[in-house]
Amino acid sequence: MSSTTPSAAASAPLRAARKGRPDRSQWIGLVYIAPAIALVTVFFVIPLGMTAWMSLHNWPLMGGHSFIGLDNYVAITKDTRFWNALKFTLYYTVIITIAIFAVAFPLALFVERPGRMTGFYRTSFFLPVVVGFASASLLWSWLLNVDSGLFSPAAYQLGLTPKKVNLIANFDTAFWSVIVMVVWKVAGFTMIILMTGLQSIPGDLTEAAKIDGANAWQRFTQITLPLMRRTLALALILSVAGSILAFDQFYIMLRGGPRNSTITAVYWIFNQSFVSFKLGYGAALSMVLLVILVVLSLIQLRLLRNPEGT
Amino acid sequence: MAAATLSADRGTLGSFVARHSIGLFLSAIFIAPIFWTLLSSLKPPPPPWPTTGFSIENYVALDSFGAGLWHSAQNSIFVSVSSVLLTAVISLLAGYGFSRFTFPFKNLFFIMILSTIMIPFQSILTPIFLLLATFKLQNTLTGLVLVYVTLQLPFSIFMMRNAFDAVPKEIEEAARIDGARSVALLTRIMLPLVWPGLVTVALFAFLNTWNEFIAALVLMTDQEKFTLPIMMTAVQSGRFGAINWGAVQAGVTVMMIPCLILFLLLQRFYIRGLTAGAVK
């Protein structure tokens, strides 16, 4: 690709003079984008094709691979553990999205208007966002630890619980601990997106409604929410897409436990590909995940492209 | 009249106090876990109250695990800094190319790069693993850097193209008449004008690569090549014997501090990237 460009650029003046319209000196642009195209081709497009190709094979890490057609996909339909993982991922996605919005929307309303200290509040709520998911998960796995952490020993020492409670030993407390961690980590991000949406609503609209006697709740549901459709859709899609790919927090904080009840879709693919080394089967699972995400992205494009109203 | 003013004042004072009590309380909740870790990492055990003493033994202890914390930190620094530099250069060039030139398949290439954002990279990790092995780059930080840069490109090129689009064409034409050549034009005339966009790109590249977990976990299987998140997860999982939570706190602190400092210093560039990526 990049090897053809210099010659094209060299002959450019001649050709451009003869043909007139397409200015080939412009083709030098190809040289500027060549490194980017090369990287994306080698480390994205080709691997993408390979995933599709590998998904049709029995492909162990060592030894040869053999073409088996759609057998991997047939196996997926019978893989109850994968479907359980997918079910859990969707359950997590629904709960976490609701939780994030429930926290982020009030925060956005709280910091929307500039005022004394507002900058400080915005920054504080946002700080956990810049800490990585791995750091946040490690941090909270310590806070949640039964003996050396914060919550259990603190509750015990304060006399709130008769003995130290292991929060990650059963599904409900473990799951909700992760939810709390992720809300803490992500709410600030959603808050900023919602805040920009809120700020783009013209002030005179709400003023006019106020004069017309609409109360705060009516103004919120009749004016604010409809005008924020695009922003809400964006925040929603970002939250859903991110949650479907959840891995770090469940791997680091819970190791998929207790009793494999918090294995997400990506976690299952990781296990199949890099623990069991069934690379072909992992590739087929990846294709399923990929289709789900692409469909989501297309819905996103539709939602975002449609102008307000409809 | 006077009574009315007084009650209005009381109203604003009341809401002032309410607003800021809520604000401070919420801020405390969001900052507390970070602050608590920082504090505990500098205290000797036992938990949970980090009230007494001062010690850096947690940080010292970290170096006794595997290849050592500082070794992993060096790996992380190498990977992040190289990724930032490469991302900045490649997206600067590509942004310029896409913004200022017309050539065949330009839109196709642009869409190809941007559409990779739709596809979860988690689903192509296996082939990347095999490809790196083919290039003799398995278990090398260089391989990881190339993968990271690729993942940064869609956002970065989008940002840089917009940055170049915002520069009036007249500036360039004037410089061209003065005889500036393409490359000089880019580095001398355009670079200072698209600088803010480049800072945003670099900031996001740093934060994303410094914190990246699953690709590093899959691609770096040799302890010598662990980045900080992988190293710390190994410590936290008890891979090196009994879990030393003090050491985990210290490691988490080392991982968080650069992100927090960079964010606080470059906050407006961060928000700019967030809204540019989000709104458009």
Q: CB pairs below 8 Å between A and B: how many?
A: 256
pLDDT of residue A7: 41
Helix B141-165, helix A29-40: angle, nearest 10:
140
pLDDT of residue A21: 57
Q: Cβ separation of B255 and A138 shorter than 8 Å?
A: yes
pLDDT of residue A137: 95
**Strand A57-58 relative to strand A66-67, pairing:** antiparallel
| Preceding amide of A6 cis, omega within 30 | no
Location of each CATH 1.10.3720.10 domain in chain B: 65-279
- Asked if A223 contacts A246 with a C-beta cutoff of 8 angstroms, the reply is no
Q: Cβ separation of B214 and A132 shorter than 8 Å?
A: no
ipTM: 0.88
Q: Cβ separation of A238 and B47 shorter than 8 Å?
A: no
Min distance A209 CA to chain B CA atoms (Å): 23
pLDDT of residue B11: 62
Q: Cβ separation of B26 and A26 shorter than 8 Å?
A: no
CATH top-level class of B65-279: mainly alpha
* Average pLDDT estimate for A46-71: 91
Min distance A263 CA to chain B CA atoms (Å): 15
Q: Cβ separation of B102 and A26 shorter than 8 Å?
A: yes
> Which of chain A's residues have a Cβ under 8 Å away from the Cβ of B264?
123
pLDDT of residue A68: 93
Is A8's pLDDT higher than 50? no
Min distance B131 CA to chain A CA atoms (Å): 8
Q: Cβ atoms within 10 A of the Cβ of B20, count?
A: 15
pLDDT of residue A4: 39
pLDDT of residue A209: 86
- Asked if A149 contacts A142 with a C-beta cutoff of 8 angstroms, the reply is yes
Q: Which of residues B83 and A6 earns the better pLDDT score?
A: B83
How many residues appear in chain A? 310
DSSP for A86-128, written as a single string: HHHHHHHHHHHHHHHHHHHHHHHHHHSS--TTHHHHHHHHHHH
pLDDT, tens digit, 9 for 90 and up, residues A78-107: 999 999 999 999 999 999 999 999 999 999
* Average pLDDT estimate for A253-282: 92
Determine the residue of chain B that is closest to A187 in CA distance: B30
Determine the residue of chain B that is closest to A40 in CA distance: B150
As a whole number of angstroms, the distance between CA A128 and CA B157 comes to 27
> Which of chain A's residues have a Cβ under 8 Å away from the Cβ of B33?
128, 139-140, 143, 184
Most confident of the following: A6-15, A190-199, A292-301: A190-199
Min distance A208 CA to chain B CA atoms (Å): 23
Q: Cβ separation of B124 and A48 shorter than 8 Å?
A: yes
Is A308's pLDDT higher than 90? no
Q: Cβ separation of A45 and B249 shorter than 8 Å?
A: no
Nearest CB among B47, B94, B103 relative to A36 is that of B94
pLDDT of residue B277: 61
pLDDT of residue A53: 94
Determine the residue of chain B that is closest to A47 in CA distance: B127
Determine the residue of chain A that is closest to B210 in CA distance: A132
Q: pLDDT category, A18, cuts 50, 70, 90?
A: very low
Nearest CB among B30, B146, B256 relative to A124 is that of B30
Q: Cβ separation of A50 and B34 shorter than 8 Å?
A: no
Q: Cβ atoms within 10 A of the Cβ of A65, count?
A: 15
pLDDT, tens digit, 9 for 90 and up, residues A185-229: 999 999 999 998 898 888 888 888 888 888 888 888 888 888 888
Share of chain A above pLDDT 70, in %: 91
pLDDT of residue A28: 86
- What residue ranges of chain B have pLDDT lower than 70? 1-11, 45-53, 180, 277-280
pLDDT of residue A173: 92
pLDDT of residue A150: 81
As a whole number of angstroms, the distance between CA A241 and CA A300 comes to 10
Q: Cβ separation of B118 and A294 shorter than 8 Å?
A: yes
Burial A190-207 (b: 16+ CB within 10 A, else e): bbbbbbbbbeebeeeebe
Q: pLDDT category, A165, cuts 50, 70, 90?
A: confident
